[in-house]
Amino acid sequence: MVHQFIGLITVRTGSSRLPKKALLPIKGRCTIEHLIDRSKLIHGLDKLILCTSTEKTDDILEHIAYKNDIACFRGSLEDKLERWNEAIKKYGADFFVAIDGDDLFADPYLINLSINQMRKKPCDFLDIPKDLVCGGAEYCIATSALRRVCEIKDTKDTEMMWVYFKDTGLFGVRYLNVPDPIYHNKKIRMTLDYLEDLEFFKRVFNEFNTDKNDIPLRKILRVLEKKPEIAKINFFRQEQFLQNQKNKTKLVLKKPLNNKTVQTTNSWRFCGNEFKYVREVLESGFGSSTSGNMNTRLERAFTKRFGVKFAVTSNSGTSTLHQALAAFGVGPGDEVIIPPLTVIMCGYAVLYTGAKPVFADIDPDTFLLDPLDIERKITKKTKAIMAVHLYGQVCDMEAIMSIAKKHNLYVLEDCAECYLGTDNKGRIGGTIGHIGSFSFENSKHLSTGDGGILTTNNEKLAERMRKFGGMGFKNIRALSGQVRKNKDIFQDPKYLRHDTFGWNYRLPEVAAAVGLAQLEQIDFLVNKRKEIAAKYIEVLKKCDFLIPQEVTNGYINSYWTFAAKYEGEEKKGISWYKFRKKFMENGGDGIYAAWALVYNEPIMKTIDKEGKFFEDLPPQALHLKGFLKNINCPNAEMIQPKIMQFTTNQGIEKDMKIQISALRKTINYFN
C-alpha cells in the first residue's frame, strides 16, 4: 500500500504583529508566493494545497494559489485543525505536512526526509527536534490522528495545535531524525512574525543576489555561520516569540483523557461520536428501528470506506458467516473447507447449514490456509472455501480465488480479526472473495459490544444475506432492510410478510450507532495496533526463539493481535508457561494461547461420535456423525501449541512501553 501525502500551506492575511505579512513583497513577489515556490520543490508530496479561511480578506490568497497553479481550500477562521480536517476530507490523504505560512525557508530536503521516515515507519505525529533551526522543518501528521483530535478537543482555538498530539498520551510521537549537524542550531530564527523577521529574509535574498526562493537551507546556514550579523537582525525576537507561543498553548478536551483513565480501561476507543449517535437513536424513541436509519448509515459508510457495492449489518460475526453460507446455498450434503486454526464459530457456521466442515492445513510461517492443501481437500461435495484472515493477516487470496474459479466454488473471507489488512495488490481483506465477513465483538478493531457486517459486490448475494438475517421479510432488498413501507398495507390482516426463510440476526440500532462512530475512527484504531506491533517486531529482531507471524512481501497486517511462534522449549529449554509467567512478572498483560484446533474441541468430537449437541439429550444431528474422518493437518498440530498472542489494544504510548519493556526484559532474562 502506497501512502498518500499532501502539503497544507496554512496561511491567513490577518496578523496582529505584522499586518498582511503573507502579502508583503520581497524581490517582486509576496512572501506567500515565495513559500509556494519553495514548497513545489518537495517531491515527496502527492498534492500541494494552500489552506486559508473563508474570510473576505483572504480572497486574495485563493487568487494567489490559483495563479501559482496549486489548489486552495478555505475553511474555519478560528479552528486551524478543523480547517485541515475538512481539506483532507475533500482531497484525501493518509498523511499531511503542515507547512506554516510564516516559514519562508522551510526546507524541501528536511520535509522530504520527514516524508521518507514516515513512509518507512509510520506514526501519528512526527515532531521537530527542539534544537533544529526555527522554521526549517514542518510537522508531518497522520490524518487518522487529526480526525481523532478533532473529535476530542473542546475549543476552536487550536493555534498551538501540537499540544493535542503530544500531550494527550493518545498518539504515537516520534522525532524527525536529522543526522547533519548544520541544521541543529537554536541561534537562528527563520519564521515571519515581526518586522525584523521580514528584514532578515530580505537580507538573505540579497546575500544570494536572487529573486528565487530555491536556495537549499544548508547553503543559507553556511552563509549565516560566516556572517552571524545577519542572524542577529531578528533573533532577539525569539524569546518573545517562544513566550507568546507558551501563553497560547492550552489543551481543552471534551472529557478527561488522563493516562490513568486510559491505562485501566478500554474506553479510549470510544472518544468519537458514539454518545452522540446513540443519543440520536434514543431521542427518536427507536422510531428508526423499522427503517434501520443507523444501520443504513453504517452500511453506506462501510461500502464507501471498503470500496464495495453492498454491506449488510448483523448481530454477530458468527451470524454473518451463517448468512454468507446460506446465501451461497450451502446445505446438507455439502462441504466447506476451513482452517483448523481458528475460532470454533467458523466450524459452527458450517454445521448450522447442515453441511460438513473439511479442514485444510495451514502454512507454518503465516499460520494461514495453505492453498496447496485446499486443493487436495476438494471433493465433488465442496461448495465453498472459508479463508480466515487470522490475527489481521490476509490469506493468499490470489491462489485461493484461482482454485475457486477452477472448481466453481464460492469464497467467504472471514475478516473478524482483519480490518484494512491488504494483499500485495493493495486489495483490502473482505473485498476480494464473493463475500467478506467482519465482527464488531468487543475485542475487535471496531466494536459495538457485539455485532458484525457483511460485504459483497453481488446484489443477489446481498439480498439473500439480508433476508436470511431479517426473518425473510419480502420487502427486504440488497440495499435496504426496511420492512414497513406502507402502513395501510402492513396493517392489513390479509398482508403476507415473509417469502424467504430467515433468522433474526438484525443488529440493534444502538449498536449500529456505536459502529458508525467507530468506523469514522477506523484508521486511527487500526494504526494503534500496527504501531505497537512494530515495536514488538523491533524487540524480536534480537530473539531467535520467538518468531513473528510471517507477513508476506507486499502485504499489510492489521494486527488484531501480535502472534509469534514460540520455540523456547527446543532452543532454550524454557517452557511456554514459564516464559509467559516471567513476562507477566515483568509487567506484561499476559500472553494468550491459540485456540484449540476446531476439530479437537470436545463438542466437535461429541457430534462426530454421537450426532449430539448435548450429552444428556437424544441425537439432534445424526447426519453429521463421522464428519471428522480422515483429518490430516500436521502443520496446524505442530504450530497451535507454540503460538503466543501479545495484546495490541493499548491506547497510549505509556501503556505500549509497559508491554514492550516486559517483553524485552523477559527475553533478556532467558538469554
Q: Is 37 exposed, middle or buried (0-12, 13-18, 19+ CB in 10 A)?
A: middle
Q: Which long-range contacts (CB under 8 A, 24 or more apart) does 129-132 make?
A: 129/175, 129/176, 129/178, 129/184, 130/186, 131/184, 131/185, 131/186, 132/176, 132/178, 132/183, 132/184, 132/185
The SS3 call for residue 131 is coil
* Helices (H), ranges, 236-341: 238-248, 259-264, 274-283, 293-306, 317-328
Contacts of 446 by beta carbon, 8 Å cutoff, 6+ apart: 419, 438, 440, 515, 518, 519, 522, 525
Q: Phi and psi (nearest 5°) for 352?
A: -55, -35
Identify the CA nearest to 451 among candidates 529, 365, 510.
510
Q: Phi and psi (nearest 5°) for 480?
A: -145, 135
Under the phi-then-psi rule, with left for phi > 0, alpha for psi from -120 to 50, and beta for the rest, what region is 420? Answer: left
| pLDDT (0 to 100) of residue 287 | 67
| pLDDT (0 to 100) of residue 260 | 35
Residues of the chain below pLDDT 50: 258-264, 289-290
| pLDDT (0 to 100) of residue 289 | 47
| pLDDT (0 to 100) of residue 268 | 76
Longest dimension (CA), the chain: 96
175 sits in which H/E element: strand 173-175
Q: Phi and psi (nearest 5°) for 644?
A: -120, 130
Q: Are 160 and 250 in contact (CB under 8 A)?
A: yes
**Residue type for 382, please?**
T
Contacts of 283 by beta carbon, 8 Å cutoff, 6+ apart: none
Q: Are 470 and 290 in contact (CB under 8 A)?
A: no
Buried b (16+ CB within 10 A) or exposed e, 299-325: bebbbebbebebbbbbbbbbbbbbbbb
Q: Are 296 and 281 in contact (CB under 8 A)?
A: no
The count of residues in the chain is 671
Distance of CA 342 to CAs 359, 375, 452, Å? Answer: 11, 19, 17
**Residue type for 449, please?**
G
Domains of the chain: 5-248 (3.90.550.10), 274-518 (3.40.640.10), 523-596+635-670 (3.90.1150.10)
The Cβ of residue 273 has, within 10 Å, a number of other Cβ atoms equal to 18
Q: Are 359 and 385 in contact (CB under 8 A)?
A: no
Rounded CA separation 665/159 (Å): 41
| pLDDT (0 to 100) of residue 252 | 86
Angle between helices 522-540 and 509-519 (to 10 degrees): 60
Let me know if 254 is a catalytic residue.
no
Q: Are 568 and 580 in contact (CB under 8 A)?
A: no
Beta-strand pair 5-10/95-100: parallel
Beta-strand pair 125-127/47-53: unpaired
Identify the CA nearest to 577 among candidates 595, 560, 590.
590
For 435, which DSSP code? E
Q: Are 145 and 518 in contact (CB under 8 A)?
A: no
The Cβ of residue 603 has, within 10 Å, a number of other Cβ atoms equal to 15
Q: Is 95 exposed, middle or buried (0-12, 13-18, 19+ CB in 10 A)?
A: buried
Contacts of 223 by beta carbon, 8 Å cutoff, 6+ apart: 204, 207, 208, 230
Q: Are 342 and 395 in contact (CB under 8 A)?
A: no
Quick check: pTM over 0.85? no
* Residue among 80, 356, 444, 612 flagged as catalytic: 444
Identify the CA nearest to 100 among candidates 45, 180, 31, 163.
31
The Cβ of residue 164 has, within 10 Å, a number of other Cβ atoms equal to 24
Rounded CA separation 624/607 (Å): 7
Q: Which three cell numbers stand for residue 19?
A: 499586518
Q: Which three cell numbers stand for residue 311?
A: 454491506
Distance of CA 395 to CAs 345, 414, 432, 550, Å? Answer: 19, 10, 10, 11
Using only C-alpha atoms, what is the Rg of the chain? 29
Rounded CA separation 525/448 (Å): 14
Handedness of CA 419, 424, 426, 430 (dihedral sign): negative
**Residue type for 169, please?**
G
Handedness of CA 493, 499, 502, 506 (dihedral sign): negative
50 sits in which H/E element: strand 47-53
| pLDDT (0 to 100) of residue 261 | 35
The SS3 call for residue 388 is strand
Beta-strand pair 382-388/335-338: parallel
Calculated CA dihedral for residues 223, 226, 229, 232, nearest 10 degrees? 70
For 427, which DSSP code? P
Q: How many CA atoms lie within 13 A of 310 on its CB side?
A: 22
